[in-house]
Amino acid sequence: MILSVALCTCNGERFLREQLNSILDQILPVDEIVICDDASSDGTQDILSNYQQKYPDIIKLHFNERSIGTIKNFEKAISLTNGQLIFLSDHDDIWSKNKISVMTSFFNKHEDCKLLFTNALLIDEKSNSLDTTLWDKWGFQKPKRQSWKNNYNAFNDLLNNDNKITGATVCFHKSLKKYVIPIEVPLGYWHDAWLGLHASAQKGLFFIDRNLIEYRIHQGQQIGISKNVPKVTTVKGNGNYLDKADFYSMICQLYPAHMDSTIQSSQKKRSIWKRFSLWIFNKIK
């Protein structure tokens, strides 16, 4: 089984070496690390080039001439992987030595698993523990975890951008690639929710309460729990984001049974469908 890492960087020279070392020092080694750098202006590209010289058979570098943004950079990195399992990575965290082995073992034991995500310990800029976890900060407590064991419930939440998945903890099966590439989402909706939405629609979303990375909180984060995550909004005429109604239309076409379940589950969901139907009517008219 080929194991791939899709790692995205952007001005990450402060923490990049520590992250790369933790990936290269896994008990179960990875076969490739596909790195897409989003036009860094600091020393990130020099660091990456040095690591590639040391590990030419593992590290595959791609430098964007201009910035394409976090979501499209992950799309690019994912599309370039060759593995059966694809691990997502930010440039500023630290992986536990057993991350790859634990998550790979889970996939081997659960053939229906499409995407697996985990918990993580939070650390600060100096790698000091913050004595809490990602799931504590995201509010992914026992009632919500119990709810998400039913993938229909997870799908409903993810459709409405109530996301509990952190991309830096994710591993997914290559069979998802044909559904998730390209990543087409509304403003405020991130790639990890997009991946989870498709996995849950296919009854393949799983999670384990294991802290398999140390997730760093710092001022230079592009995304993360230190940022205010905006709600999904309508953005027309923007090539990087879908109109919200177009987004619902696309998901409805891909997963009609799930959308029906979502619509019927509550008054709130029915109101979403009503707005969507009116939009369709006006388009036709």
- Domain extent listing, the chain: 3-229
Q: What is the pLDDT of residues 37-85, one digit of tens each?
A: 999 999 999 999 999 999 999 999 999 999 999 999 999 999 999 999 9
Long-range contact set of residues 156-161: C-beta below 8 Å, sequence gap at least 24: 156/261, 156/262, 156/265, 156/269, 158/193, 158/196, 158/197, 158/200, 159/197, 159/248, 159/251, 159/262, 160/232, 160/272, 161/188, 161/189, 161/193, 161/231, 161/232
The CATH number assigned to the domain with range 3-229 reads: 3.90.550.10
Q: What is the pLDDT of residues 179-206, one digit of tens each?
A: 999 999 988 999 999 999 999 999 999 9
Q: Check pLDDT > 60 for residue 235.
A: no
Q: What is the pLDDT of residues 19-38, one digit of tens each?
A: 999 999 999 999 999 999 99
Q: Check pLDDT > 50 for residue 227.
A: no
Q: What's residue 234's pLDDT?
A: 35
